[in-house]
Structure 1
Amino acid sequence: MRASKRPLGVVMAWVRRQPPKVKAFLAVVTGMAALVFIRFIVHDHDNLFVAAEAVHALGIAVLIYKLTKERTCAGLSLKTQDLTALFLAVRLYCSFVMEYDIHTVLDTATLVATLFVIYMIRFKLRSTYMVDKDNFALYYVVIPCAVLALVVHPSTSHNIANRFSWAFCVYLEAVSVLPQLRLMQNTKIVEPFTAHYVFALGVARFLSCAHWVLQVLDTRGRLLTALGYGLWPSMVLLSEIVQTFILADFCYYYVKRRLVTAAYVYDLT
């Protein structure tokens, strides 16, 4: 029985041998190519934002399956779920008072699912929760996000409290996954369903980032002006890029592991 490498496996092996700078360059090129591809196949770029929310909801559905079928929350960060519920609740409030659309419905469904996950971890499956590994201090992200929101927020005609809330949820969403990544770093083991969930977050963040980047390109920068003046438009775009890059490394290793495990086929002749 002889193993033969697939071309994809050869490519992945070559990428692994490259120095970090080359890998970073390849990641940027791949991202740009993906943006160009999406721009030509998706005519209404607002659909990308809807798709991002749908993928996020799918990731949470994977968690719910894990919690209800396997009866364990091992490997899950309760703190990431708390942050997710917080920014979703704030964004939902902003959506109700500032603009009610399809995103409001999607955020409502995602918030309900997230609250269910929190309930399961806190009360039903508490004995399997890795509280000692989930040790990321939330004030490291909540306080800086609140301060940044006070300093840089939309310059629209809405109430100042609403503008602050809008900025706060944008910044908090960008870093909400950090406790989950910290927990996985502490345990050194990534449980499969948790890996699927984090990968779904990465895909959702990329789609959301693609939505903003393509909207800016299509409007030739007018979208940034519509968001207001000062630093706020740039901070919105920067937040999308930051959260995409936070998850990019994990997504790379997730895909690599999936491809490497399928990189060999056996010739029985």
Structure 2
Amino acid sequence: MKGGRARRPIHVVLSWVKRQPPKVKAFLSVVAGMAALVFLRFIVHDHDNLFVAAEAVHAVGISVLIYKLTKEKTCAGLSLKSQYLTALFLAARLYCSFVMEYDIHTVLDTATLATTLWVIYMIRFKLRTSYMADKDNFAIYYVVVPCALLAFVIHPSTSHNIVNRICWAFCIYLEAGSVLPQLRLMQNTKIVEPFTAHYVFALGVARFLSCAHWVLQVLDTRGRLLTALGHGLWPSMVLLAEIVQTFILADFCYYYIKSVVGGQLVLRLPSGIV
């Protein structure tokens, strides 16, 4: 009874939000995001820690995938195409790290890429009988081609080689859209089992923390960070890519939280989330 009373206000709020029109929901999402940024700004003194936290949450999400594939012996609900896109942007980012700015994040990206390649191997070969190929029907060239063209047109204006700068921009843009096949697969199935839901929610939290890192850094430097990134449209596109990634996953995270608060183990998605 106590647990039910404790959750009741949250249920009331979520039910009220659900009844609102799309424009009101969008406004409330922006307000909630701004409130979260203000909260993080006051409790996190070194905003670089937000980027580390984002990578840590991403690692937790991958750990959930590893558990699902090794213990559950199924890849049902996972998008192989999203894993392809993830491996592609990680490989591009690793190349840029090695030739442009080798640091600790290079080591972390190497581990993430290795794990992603293992996930691809498991889905394609070991657990292919449980792979939902017919539901995983998002054409990845809808993401890769626009990202490549955009990178060719808008990229950093640093002193690095032009190929490296275009590759850097490509991995930034591709990361923003890499989750789209996974969201499409979940929309096709309408029902998302727990481990897949945990994984995608972890991606959403990681993206928000990464976005918060960039936004707060810009605020703290009073815009000087944008100048350090280069000139032209590139600095704005970096921030836009982070924001787009966050909003792509925001709707799913809302239904995930609603499901968890309601005590549901299986997440059921309404039409039109993707």
TM range (shorter): over 0.9
Of 30, 33, 36, the match for 2:35: 33
Q: Name the amino acid aligned to 2:67.
A: Y
- Does 1:7 pair with 2:2? no
1:192-203 equivalences under 5 Å are: 192-203=194-205
Which of 215, 235, 242 is residue 244 of structure 2 equivalent to?
242
Residues 18-68 of structure 1 show CA distances to partners (whole Å, capped at 9, x for unaligned) of 222222221111111100111111111111111111111110110110000
Q: Secondary structure of the equivalent of 1:257?
A: helix
Alignment correspondent of 2:115: 113
Asked whether 1:217 is paired with 2:230, we answer no
Matches of 1:130 and 1:21, distance apart in 2: 34
> Which residue matches 1:191?
193
> What runs of 5+ residues in structure 1 fail to find an aligned partner?
263-269
CA distance, structure 2, for counterparts of residue 153 and residue 186 of structure 1 = 35
Q: Which amino acid aligns with 2:107?
A: V
Which aligned segments of 4 or more residues in structure 1 are displaced greater than 6 angstroms?
A: none
Q: Determine the structure 1 residue equivalent to 2:75.
A: 73
Q: Which amino acid aligns with 2:66?
A: I
The answer to whether the aligner puts 1:125 opposite 2:127 as a matched pair is yes
Using the aligned pairs only, state the percent identity: 84
Q: Which moved more, 1:17-26 or 1:66-75?
A: 17-26
CA–CA separation in structure 2 for the residues paired with 1:46 and 1:154? 21
Conserved 8 A contact 1:206-1:244: yes
Distance in 2 (alpha carbons) for counterparts of 1:133 and 1:11: 33
SS at structure 2 position matched to 1:174: helix
TM-score norm. by structure 1 comes to: 0.94
Q: Which runs of 5+ in 2 are unaligned?
A: 265-274
What is the alpha-carbon distance in structure 1 between the residues aligned to residue 49 and residue 250 of structure 2? 22
In structure 2, how many angstroms separate the alpha carbons of the residues matched to 1:102 and 1:46? 13
Residues 99-151 of structure 1 show CA distances to partners (whole Å, capped at 9, x for unaligned) of 11221121111111111111100110011111111111111110111111000
1:39-50 matched pairs, under 5 angstroms: 39-50=41-52
Deviates more, 1:9-18 or 1:120-129: 9-18
Equivalent residue number for residue 85 of structure 2: 83
Query: How far did residue 10 of structure 1 move?
Result: 1.9
SS of residue paired to 1:6: helix
- TM-score of the two chains, using structure 2 as the length reference: 0.92
Q: Spell out the pairing of 1:159-198 with structure 2 (5 A cutoff).
A: 159-198=161-200
CA distance in 2, matches of 1:186, 1:6: 31
- 1: CA distance between counterparts of 2:36 and 2:92? 31
Task: Name the counterpart of 1:267.
Answer: none
Larger relative contact order (Cα-Cα within 8 Å, sequence gap ≥ 6): 1
Number of residue pairs matched by the alignment: 262
The one-letter code matched in structure 2 to 1:174 is A
| CA distance in 1: counterparts of 2:100 and 2:46, whole angstroms | 22
Which residue pairs with 2:20 in the alignment? 18
Q: Does the residue aligned with 1:75 lie in a helix, a strand or coil?
A: coil
Using the TM superposition, give the Cα deviation of residue 6 of structure 1 relative to its aligned residue in structure 2, in angstroms: 2.1
Q: CA deviation at 1:71?
A: 0.4
Q: Which residue of 2 aligns with 1:254?
A: 256
Cα offset for 1:96? 1.2
Over the aligned positions, Cα root-mean-square deviation in angstroms equals 1.5
Deviates more, 1:106-115 or 1:193-202: 106-115
